[in-house]
Structure 1
Amino acid sequence: MDRFISTETLIIELLLVASLVAILVRRLRVPYTVALVLVGLVLTLQQPLELSLTPELILALLVPPLVFEAAFHINFTELRRNLPGILLLAVVGVILSTLIVGGAVSLVTPLSLPIALVFGALISATDPVAVVALFRALGAPRRLALLVEGESLLNDGTAIVLFNLVLAAALTGHFDLLNGVADFLRVSAGGVVVGLALGWIAAQIIARVDDYLIETTLTTVLAFGAYLVAERLHFSGVLAVVVAGLVNGNIGPQGMSPTTRIVLFNFWEYVAFLANSFIFLLIGLQVNVPTLLANWQPIAWAIVAVLAARSIVTYSLGWVVNRFSDPLPLRWLHVLNWGGLRGAIALALALSLPASLGPQGELVRIMAFGVVLFTLLGQSTTMRPLLRVLAIVTRNPIQMQYELRHARLMTFRAAATHLDSLYRDGFISEQAWETLRPELLRQVETIAHSVRDLQRMYPELTTEELESARRELLRAQRSALMSMRRDAIISEEAFELLASEVDTLLMSEDFMPPEPPVAHAGASAPTNDSARPKNSS
């Protein structure tokens, strides 16, 4: 009982730390995952914690929701259009990276070639969580974000399969190339088949059920169940989850109500937030800084080898992609190269190394932690400046001008409101109020005219603003419906009907505000003059 209470207390403490970090990073321009790792490092330096970060905890509990959530939101049409390039990077790229890193590391560190190849396999899987989050925040090109995320999803499974094959060869002392290729294809294809089958079955059940609680539960069962079933059959569990998420995310929502889709998207966004928070906070808590410093030379060589292999793979395979597909700009290749972060998969595989590898296995773990820490703290934090230097994400000068004028308008209106409050509360005299108020109102009117002029010249400036405002109005309607249901003003049946109408509009890509009620016979519609507010200022 005491152990359960202590475990529960630790989980609550970690959730609290993650929440506080999430609040803090909103004010600082630091990736959330990087901040979690730094906080974990600070905590473990202040008071070392006895934590057992096992590979089962990462691979079976924390990775499936992350992989499923990412795959669930990928549009299959866009993925299929870019699939050749993604497969090259995720399959051929992982194999090349394993060979390059393994060969280089075996030359400059105490690791033998077989163990060096094991390190090359486990460190080849990319985990660009922080990079993808930055892409979304800055509005990077959709195809570039899809390439980064798609490669990460598929190369996780590839790296795990390759790691198991190379590890078996290192332990037994011999490797049969033909059998190795056959096992690679069998494990990969088996995971894909399991994911296809379970994803399709879940989508068919969801299409016949109209209950968002049941449908959300089914997707949860699918995410974890696909991994467990595939692993029990000795296939790739991660690839099974990826394919199940793709199938369910592209077929399942067709049979869902708008309410279910909103609940489902919010649920998986929250679960992915939790999984990411735990993984990267635990990484920081697990890192032994004195041990890393004591082994700085092999870690430095490993970092150099990983960066070199990533560059060779990215630019060479990028050239191949450009030969038979839509060309990738050189600037994008720079981003793909530097965005090859390492994370949870690499650490899980490093932790799963058997004790029989002895000191070499321990060195592999230390090097893996060092490389992951470098990519998170070094590459992730410099991605924003790189995007700006390469002019991939740039600020539209017209949009910037609109924001400045709009902000000035809001500040002068706020000043006028505060002036009225000061006068009303007796803090300033009527003479001061009558002197200052016309000056503020003139400023407000002048800036308001400049904002309207800009909107007339560039109508697209208000599109996003209108979209946001309309959605906020719909959310207010839904909140009012929930309050009426809670207070028993409307029945559950009426709530479901009205909430479904609002949710349909919320899920629509180009929704319009609700139509005004039809006038009764004999009633005249208001003219434009009568509909206009009396005080237009």
Structure 2
Amino acid sequence: MEQFLSTETLIIELLLVASLVAIAVRRLRIPYTVALVLVGLLLTSQSSVSFELTPDLILALFVPPLVFEAAFHLDLKELQRNLTLILFLAIFGVIMTTLIVGGLLSVTTTLSLTSALVFGSLIAATDPVAVVALFRLLGVPRRLSVLVEGESLLNDGTALVLFNLMLAIALTGQFNFVQSVGDFLRVSVGGIAVGLLMGWVTSRLISRIDDYLIEITLTTVLAYGSYLLAENFHFSGVLAVVAAGLIAGSLGPRGMSPSTRIVLFNFWEYVTFLVNSLVFLLIGLEVDIFALIGNWQTILMAIIIVLAARAVVVYSINWITALFSNPIPLRWQHIQTWGGLRGALSLALALSLPMTFGEDRYLLKTMAFGVALFTLLIQGTTMSTLVRKLGIITIDPAQVEYEERHARLAALRSAERHIENRFMEGLISKPVWEQIQPKLKEQTDLLADSLQELLQVEPSLEKGELDVSRREILSAQQSAYLNLRRDGVISEDVYNLLSVEIDAEMEQGGGPFWFVPPSSLPERLQEGLTGKAEVEEIKIDVGSKAADIQVKDIRWPDHFVIARLRRGTQVIIPRGDTYLRAEDLLTVVGEKEAIDQARVTIAGKAEPAAEDNTSTDIFE
């Protein structure tokens, strides 16, 4: 019991550390995984934290969800378009890396040829988690991201199979080329077949179920089940998970509702964050700094040889495949070369070396940690600079200008609202307000005009702004429906109906129905609201008590929500501190009685008489 509590406490501590690191890297601007390794190194040198990073823990617990999530989200069409290059890199690239690294290490170090080949096979798999995350952040071309991620997915399985073959040769001293090729094909094809079958069966089940909890559970079973089943038949579990993830990611979402799809994607995003956090933090904790220092010459030689092998593989295979497929730019090849980071799988294989391997076992493990640490800390942190130096990302000057003007306008309007609120609350005198307000308005109008001119010159910017606005409006509507369900205004069935409508509109880029009268809403949505809840529009007339009052200061009836506010050509999602103005048009959702009560309240005329402290007015 005490051991269980000790492990449980350690896991909670690691998760807390990972969360703090995730918060810190937002300011430090370094890859999250790199920061985790650095913190792990710091912890292992400053504390007595002890945790055994075993190969079973990495391969059976950590690898399946990471591989499945990456395969599930991989663009299958883009993968198919670049399959030739990816397969060459994942198969022939791994074999070439093993031979180059093994051959050169056997000449330049004290390692035997068989031991050097074992190291070459375990270090051949790339693990560009930090690079892929950076790609998404920087917005590199989609094809380049798929090339790097696709190669990593497929070469994991290839390297694992090749490692087992090289290990068997090193332990037995026997090599049969025909048998080795046969074993390689059997393990690889068998794993892929298991993954394809399980992925297809699971996708069929998901298409017949409309319950996100069950569907999430099925994908979890698929991720781990495909790995375990393939390993049970002595096939490649990693390749099984890759195949299962690709099929589930391609066929599974078709049978899911939009809401389920969003929940499922968020779930796997969280799982990946959790597993990556633990893996890279544990890598830092597992590193023996004194062992690295003691073998620095061998590790340095291994780093140089691994980098050289990666360069030979990338440039030669790209040159060959360019003869019969769509070539990629040389700049991209530089990124592929420098982006060949090593990580969890290489360390798992190094840790799995049996005691019977001999005295080289400890050295290979130390070399693997040294190479992985270099690729993470040096290559991982310099990738962003390299991407920018090579011009992989082209910054649109119009977009930069738009963002600058938009930010200035937003800041001015925020300042204008703040000062106006202070004036309305009596904290700024009228003479001061009359001096400040015209200047602020003049600056705001000038910026708004300049922004409008830019949008007219660059229609693509206007489209992007419209898309963002539509998503925000839909999110606000979704929140309003959730409040109505929580208050009991609409039933669970009606809420689900409305949520599906919103989710579908989000996926389709938004529809036009926010900008039309409620009577023009989709028929299904109108039917869903027929009953306890209705949608109506209420106008705030000149002289109304509601004019120049904050939304939060009005005692609105229960079971009533303001979905949006239209002010001239502006569409505003009101918050508690939003001031209502004369001529505003409110789109409201609620019970008929509640809407009527709100209409009476808003229609009330402001009286010039002094306030009555004993009043029970709704604006108190």
TM-score range (shorter-chain normalised) is over 0.9
- TM-superposed CA distance for 1:223, in Å, is 0.4
2:467–2:509 contact (8 Å) kept in structure 1: no
Matched with 1:373 is: 373
The residue type paired with residue 456 of structure 1 is: Q
- Provide the C-alpha distance between the structure 2 equivalents of 1:519 and 1:270, rounded to a whole number of angstroms: 39
Cα distance in 2 for partners of 1:135, 1:234 equals 35
Question: 1:480 Cα deviation (Å)?
Answer: 2.8
In our comparison, the structure showing a higher alpha carbon Rg is: 2
What is the CA-CA distance between 1:426 and the residue it aligns to? 6.0
CA distance in structure 1 between the aligned counterparts of 2:511 and 2:424, rounded to whole angstroms: 42
The corresponding residue for 2:283 is 283
- The whole-number CA distance in structure 2 between the counterparts of 1:364 and 1:511 is 59
Distance apart, 1:379 and its partner CA: 0.4
Question: Aligned residue for 2:153?
Answer: 153
Letter paired with 2:253: P
- C-alpha distance in structure 1 between counterparts of 2:344 and 2:63, whole Å: 8
Asked if the contact 2:258/2:500 (under 8 Å) is kept, the reply is yes
C-alpha displacement of 1:372:
0.5
The aligned counterpart of 1:500 is 500
Q: Which whole-Å CA distance do the structure 1 matches of 2:453 and 2:369 have between them?
A: 56
Report percent identity of matched pairs: 59
- What are the within-5 Å matches in structure 2 for residues 1-400 of structure 1? 1-400=1-400
- Which 10-residue stretch deviates more, 13-22 or 339-348? 13-22
The change in CA–CA distance for 1:15 and 1:409 in structure 2 (over 3 A counts) is same
Find the residue that maps to 2:359 and give its secondary structure.
Answer: helix
Say which structure is richer in helix: 1
Distance in 1 between residues matched to 2:173 and 2:137, nearest whole Å:
48
> Which SS does the other structure have where 1:379 is aligned?
helix
TM-score w.r.t. structure 2 length? 0.82
The one-character-per-residue Cα deviations of 1:96-125 (angstroms, maximum 9, x if unpaired) are: 000001111111222111011000000010
Give the corresponding residue for 2:611: none
Conserved in 1, the CA contact under 8 Å of 2:123 and 2:368?
yes
Counterpart contact for 2:41–2:284, Cα < 8 Å: yes
Query: Which amino acid in the other structure matches residue 37 of structure 1?
Result: V
| CA distance in structure 1 between the aligned counterparts of 2:278 and 2:432, rounded to whole angstroms | 58
Amino acid at match of 2:362: E
Counterpart code for 1:257 = S
Deviation of residue 488 (structure 1)? 3.0
Deviates more, 1:333-342 or 1:432-441: 432-441
TM-score (norm: length of structure 1): 0.95
Matches of 1:19 and 1:196, distance apart in 2: 36
Alignment deviations for residues 251-280 of structure 1 (CA, whole Å, 9 cap, x no partner): 111111111111111111111111111111
Aligned residue runs from structure 1 range 444-459, under 5 A: 444-459=444-459
- What is the distance in 1 between the residues matched to 2:393 and 2:94? 28
Q: Residue 428 of structure 1: CA displacement?
A: 5.3
CA apart distance, 1:75: 2.4
Helix, strand or coil: the match of 1:174? coil
Q: CA deviation at 1:509?
A: 4.6
Kindly provide the CA deviation profile for residues 272-316 of structure 1, in whole angstroms up to 9, marking residues without a partner as x: 111111111111111111211111111100100100000000000
What is the rounded CA distance, in whole Å, between the counterparts of 1:357 and 1:535 in structure 2?
A: 83
Matched, 1:517 2:518: yes
CA distance in 1, matches of 2:11, 2:258: 33
The CA distance in 2 between the partners of 1:519 and 1:244, in whole Å, is 44
Hey, what does 2:601 align to over in structure 1? none
Q: Which moved more, 1:287-296 or 1:373-382?
A: 287-296
Question: CA 1:390–1:201 in 2, change beyond 3 Å: closer, same or farther?
Answer: same
User: In the alignment, is the contact (CA less than 8 A) between 1:191 and 1:240 conserved in 2?
Assistant: yes
What is the number of residues matched between the two proteins? Answer: 530
Q: 2:471, 2:510 within 8 Å by CA — same for their partners in 1?
A: no
> What root-mean-square deviation, in Å, do the aligned CA atoms of Structure 1 and Structure 2 show?
2.1
Match of 2:306, SS state, is helix
Unaligned runs of 5+ in 2: 522-535, 540-565, 571-581, 585-620
Amino acid of the structure 1 residue aligned with 2:74: I
Note the alpha carbon deviations across 1:474-513, whole angstroms, 9 max, x for none. 2232233333333333222222222222222223356555
Q: Does 1:415 align with 2:415?
A: yes
Cα distance per residue 1:409-463 (max 9 Å; x no partner): 1222233334335555666554443333322221111111100100111121133
Partner of 2:590: none
Change over 3 Å in CA distance of 1:422–1:509 after alignment to 2: closer
1:469 and 1:17 map into 2 onto residues whose CA distance is 36
- Equivalent residue runs for 1:456-495 within 5 Å: 456-495=456-495
Alpha-carbon offset, residue 378 of structure 1: 0.4
- Structure-2 separation of matches of 1:513 and 1:108: 70
**Unpaired runs of 5+ in structure 1?**
none
Higher relative contact order (CA 8 A, sep 6+): 1
The whole-number CA distance in structure 1 between the counterparts of 2:496 and 2:411 is 42
Q: Give the equivalent residue in structure 2 for 1:433.
A: 433
Structure 1: how far apart are the matches of 2:479 and 2:410? 27
Please give the alpha-carbon distance, in whole angstroms, between the structure 1 residues aligned to 2:459 and 2:401: 14
**For 2:201 and 2:103, how far apart are their aligned partners in 1?**
44
Q: How many Å separate the matches in 2 of 1:480 and 1:245?
A: 35
The 1:88–1:512 alpha-carbon spacing in structure 2 relative to 1, beyond 3 Å, is farther
Residue deviations 1:69-105 (CA, integer Å, cap 9, x gap): 1111122222111100000000000000000011111
One-letter amino acid of the counterpart of residue 256, structure 2 = M
Structure 2 residue matching 1:27: 3-state secondary structure: helix
1:143/1:519 CA distance change after superposition, 3 Å: closer
1:403 paired to 2:409: no
